[in-house]
Amino acid sequence: MIRPHGADALDPRFVSDSNSRTALLAEAQTLPSIVLNSAAAANAVMLGGGYFTPLKGFMNLADAMSVTTDMKTGDGLFWPVPILNVTDNIDGIRGAKRIALRDPNVIGNPVLAVMDVAGIEEISDEQLDTMTAKVFGTLDMGHPGVSVFRGLGRYCIAGDIQVLNFSYFEEEFSGTFKTAVKIREEIGERGWEKVVAFQTRNPMHLAHEELCRMAKERLNADGIVIHMLLGRLKAGDIPASVRDACIRKMVDVYFPENTVMVNGYGFDMLYAGPREALLHAVFRQNMGATHLIVGRDHAGVGSFYGPFDAQAIFDELPAGSLDIEIFAADHTAWSKKLNRVVMMSEVEDHTPEDYVFLSGTKVREMLGQGIAPPAEFSRPEVAQILMDYYQLEDRQAAVGE
């Protein structure tokens, strides 16, 4: 199986021994504490699950700036995005060497992790601008990732952590949320060696399904891990529970048994385009995937990135940065001429009229009206789940008016 990133074994920061965890929870009640923002809480969950191996905690400002400008930590580890615990108020933890980190996403703000504080530093305007511009490629506050990042605060709290739970993800997405440790174990149990990962924050339409199938066949892979984001998204995106139902229905009906695993991870979407694609590759390597499908506008939003910037950035990496490889995919769509889903770059004698295209707005309107998109666009079983969701949403919106 592929080795984890920068290590011989995963280093999950979750405290698996129940006695140790109980003792730490008791200790946490005596410690100064802060309520994390959602982004930092998601980082803690990813550290807990081993997805961010070999990191042991949150970066200091020097490492964050090194990652920002050179995509490597001070000790030379390739890493594409700063992993930070940033806050706007440190009054309750000034001078503390050990603190409790509380969950912002669960009622009562229970302790999520215990942290050994290596340092607290203030981020300057120049540093914040550099991080924003390099990671997101823009300073435009209209970018949803930029607006979130710049609103987190100015104090960077660095240090190793011990994670005590996985926030709301285990309970709310039981059976779907999996740590990198668990996914590696299951890949091993299935006897898979070559594994393709598919990243999604959306329900999968027919073109996505066929793209997974193409990648598996062309790479002669043993299996596919459809790995969906379960954390926060921008307004208007489809909730994770609905996406989960859609994807599981598609897999159950249309894929052979023991060829697809459906799992999710507890992270908030950054919408950082190329840099986020690299982060996706890092933690997919950690979970045991040998290949990651990187499609058109991977992890992008609006028109902030070129359609293939997220593929091109992999070609710019120094040799040895990652062991995982990418499966570079063009836009896929149903060809009326060939009567099948194709990658548009691979077919000749096609005009835009030869493909079945539907805008997101048009699909949303159809689903809200109880009209299923054409079979060339979406499986009927998936469309039904989405129609039920959108019609319920519309009824609730009407009641609230």
Mean pLDDT of 284-311: 96
Average pLDDT along the chain: 95
Considering only CA atoms, which of 279, 383, 358, 293 is closest in space to residue 329?
Answer: 293
How many Å apart are CA 230 and CA 177, to the nearest integer? 8
Mean pLDDT of 241-268: 95
Q: How do residues 209-218 score in pLDDT, each as one tens digit?
A: 999 999 999 9
Banded model confidence at residue 22, pLDDT cuts 50, 70, 90: very high
Look at residue 397 in the predicted model and tell me its pLDDT.
60
Better pLDDT: 394 or 98: 98
Q: How do residues 91-125 score in pLDDT, each as one tens digit?
A: 999 999 999 999 999 999 999 999 999 999 999 99
Q: Quote the pTM value.
A: 0.95
Banded model confidence at residue 48, pLDDT cuts 50, 70, 90: very high
232 catalytic, yes or no? no
Question: What percentage of the chain reaches a pLDDT higher than 90?
Answer: 89
How many Å apart are CA 181 and CA 352, to the nearest integer? 44
Question: What percentage of the chain reaches a pLDDT higher than 70?
Answer: 98
Q: What angle do CA 127, 133, 137 make, to 5 degrees?
A: 160
Look at residue 383 in the predicted model and tell me its pLDDT.
93
How many Å apart are CA 287 and CA 113, to the nearest integer? 22
Q: How far is CA 267 from CA 263, 283, 347, in A?
A: 13, 11, 37
201 catalytic, yes or no? yes
Where does CATH 3.40.50.620 sit in the chain? Answer: 175-400
Mean pLDDT of 179-197: 98
* Residue pair 296/343 in contact by the 8 Å Cβ criterion: no
Is the pLDDT score of 400 beyond 80? Answer: no
Banded model confidence at residue 309, pLDDT cuts 50, 70, 90: very high
Q: Which of 190, 201, 213, 364 is catalytic?
A: 201
How many Å apart are CA 46 and CA 40, to the nearest integer? 10
Q: Which of 98, 202, 213, 232 is catalytic?
A: 202
Exposure class string for 181-213: b at 16+ Cβ within 10 A, else e = bebbebbeeeebeebbbbbbbebbbbbbbbbbb
Q: How do residues 75-95 score in pLDDT, each as one tens digit?
A: 999 999 999 999 999 999 999
Banded model confidence at residue 202, pLDDT cuts 50, 70, 90: confident
The fourth-level CATH superfamily of domain 175-400 is HUPs (3.40.50.620)
Is the pLDDT score of 146 beyond 80? Answer: yes
Query: Is it true that domain 18-170 has CATH number 3.40.190.80?
Result: no
* Residue pair 103/39 in contact by the 8 Å Cβ criterion: no
Is the pLDDT score of 352 beyond 70? Answer: yes
Mean pLDDT of 169-185: 96
Is the pLDDT score of 238 beyond 90? Answer: no
Where does CATH 3.10.400.10 sit in the chain? Answer: 18-170
How many Å apart are CA 82 and CA 181, to the nearest integer? 22
